[in-house]
Amino acid sequence: MDNTIILPPGYDATITSGNNRDADLPAYSSLSSMGQVVPQNLTELSEGAPSKQFSYHISLKGNNSSASLVLYGNASLSKHSPAFLGGSRVNGLVKVNVESGESINAVVISIQGKIISGSKQHIFLEYTQTLWSSSSDYPKSDGRLQGEHNWPFKLHFPKEVTLTVGTKDAPRVEVFQLPQSFMERHAKASIQYEVIARFARGMLKTDHRIIAPFVYIPIIRPEPPSQLRSDAYERNTTIPGPIADPTGWHTLTPVQIQGKLFTRQATISCILSLALPLSYTRGSIIPLHLVIQSNDPQALETLSSPHAIICRLRRILRYYPDENKTVDPKLRREELEHSELATWWPFVEYPSLEESSFQRTLSGEIILSPELMPTTTIGRFQLEYSVVLFPFDANSFHSENNDILSDCAVEIATAFPPGPRQRTNVQTAIPDRLRHAFQ
């Protein structure tokens, strides 16, 4: 029996323009360890989609006695382990072939989702269904299971789970979306799902079990972009900036930067904007907009160079070992990683304004790795993202403060929003860039 749990599959960075509205989920990338291909239409992933069979076997008492668990994973998503999409169900079959009477009181199938950290685990999902019991009317011989028997089953995934969280003194009930399977070599915690077939044998006897890991992928879909942005994607025209499309951007608080350019003092201000909504599909991009202002023309030219702007996607993984205790900051398991740099290029929405002012405007984008784990919060496990603007990096300029300039929380989703697809300004650079994301 193969109990290996694999990494959840990632998605391809194929970003198309125009009116191609069939691709609801990004296609799988050849960079993924699984190397699968996802159908371009989400309807193909619904009930009735082609399935791939996975079988797990154990031997029972007797030379020719055995039990099997069969799972039917989605054919387009499954490779080494069955994979299931949010909102679908787990279809399967339990089979037994007992040559002589086997002392089995019940056959039970269950789904389990859990967070594992070291030797500890926290179960957040458990659903059980009895397929057969000795008290039922199913044929049996002298109270002992004998012969060949098949029990098909269908287990529905809840999209959400209700958990009691907090301390014993202040418990609270919260609703969480089921998280994607997650397992990274150096992460302090993982999220794993299993289907368990249990053959109950009564008191003082060890039950037979078949445990089959599977991959779960939730559907997290952003809201559509602004109408002006959608029109620009549809017509393949320039994306309007925050001035022309104020409802399409989230503009952060302006930041003042003091520093030295060579030997003289210089003051610079910058304003970072992110495209709304602040939810972005993995395998796509985060559109950015940056305004830099200074009364020092040389400082302005130096810091408006695309190579001087340091903006990244930050990922923070937090895991709290015990919610029933006050968490000591020293015991927090927090892991922080950054993606590669955003790409920038000049953007001039109003040429006359740009030429007559001490201002430079740039458009930018962060290309999202297709293998990103989506934003996740489930009990003690939190995986969050933010876009971070770091101090400028120019040899001739030295900032008086090295703190982060701007930080904006964002959501990473798994499905494309309605409407035309985003397009990238650096499509030809995508394959090379993705190889370095979060490595």
Rg (CA), the chain: 27
Amino acid at 221: R
pLDDT of 138 higher than 70:
no
Interior CA angle at 301 toward 295 and 304, to 5°?
105
Average pLDDT over residues 149-174: 88
Predicted local confidence at residue 315, as pLDDT: 94
Structural contact between residues 97 and 40, judged by C-beta atoms closer than 8 angstroms: no
pLDDT of 39 higher than 90:
no
Predicted local confidence at residue 353, as pLDDT: 60
Q: What is the DSSP string of 195-245?
A: EEEEEE--TTSPPEEEEEEEEEE----PPP--HHHHHHHHHT-PPP-TTT-
Model confidence band, residue 20 (pLDDT cutoffs 50, 70, 90): very low
Mean pLDDT rounded to a whole number for the chain: 80
pLDDT of 129 higher than 60:
yes
pLDDT of 95 higher than 80:
yes
pLDDT of 18 higher than 90:
no
Model confidence band, residue 435 (pLDDT cutoffs 50, 70, 90): very low
Predicted local confidence at residue 213, as pLDDT: 95
For residues 84 and 429, the model is more confident at 84
Average pLDDT over residues 68-94: 90
Model confidence band, residue 105 (pLDDT cutoffs 50, 70, 90): confident
Contacts for 251 with CB less than 8 Å, ≥ 6 apart: 242, 271, 272, 273
CA 293, CA 361: separation in Å to the nearest integer?
Answer: 9
CA-wise closest residue to 211 among 192, 224, 230, 226: 192
> pLDDT by residue (tens digit) across 334-353?
788 888 789 999 886 665 56
Q: Name beta bridge partners: 413.
A: 281
pLDDT of 395 higher than 80:
yes
Amino acid at 131: L
pLDDT of 23 higher than 60:
no
Model confidence band, residue 258 (pLDDT cutoffs 50, 70, 90): very high
> pLDDT by residue (tens digit) across 195-249?
999 998 877 778 889 999 999 999 999 999 999 999 999 998 889 999 999 999 9
pTM (predicted TM-score): 0.82
CA 230, CA 236: separation in Å to the nearest integer?
Answer: 10
Which range among 26-40, 85-99, 215-229, 235-249 shows the weakest confidence by mean pLDDT? 26-40
Predicted local confidence at residue 82, as pLDDT: 94
Contacts for 166 with CB less than 8 Å, ≥ 6 apart: 172, 323
For residues 142 and 299, the model is more confident at 299
Predicted local confidence at residue 408, as pLDDT: 97
Average pLDDT over residues 371-394: 93
According to DSSP, the β-strands at 264-275 and 255-261 are: antiparallel
Average pLDDT over residues 59-88: 86
Predicted local confidence at residue 79, as pLDDT: 84
- Could you give the dihedral angle defined by the CA atoms of residues 333, 334, 339 and 342, in that order, rounded to the nearest 10 degrees? 170
Which range among 135-149, 166-180, 396-410 shows the weakest confidence by mean pLDDT? 135-149
Which range among 61-65, 172-176, 368-372 shows the weakest confidence by mean pLDDT? 61-65
Burial of 63 (0-12, 13-18, 19+ CB in 10 A): exposed
CA-wise closest residue to 394 among 211, 266, 274, 275: 266
Average pLDDT over residues 74-79: 84
For residues 425 and 159, the model is more confident at 159
For residues 117 and 432, the model is more confident at 117
Most confident segment among 49-53, 81-85, 145-149, 277-281: 277-281
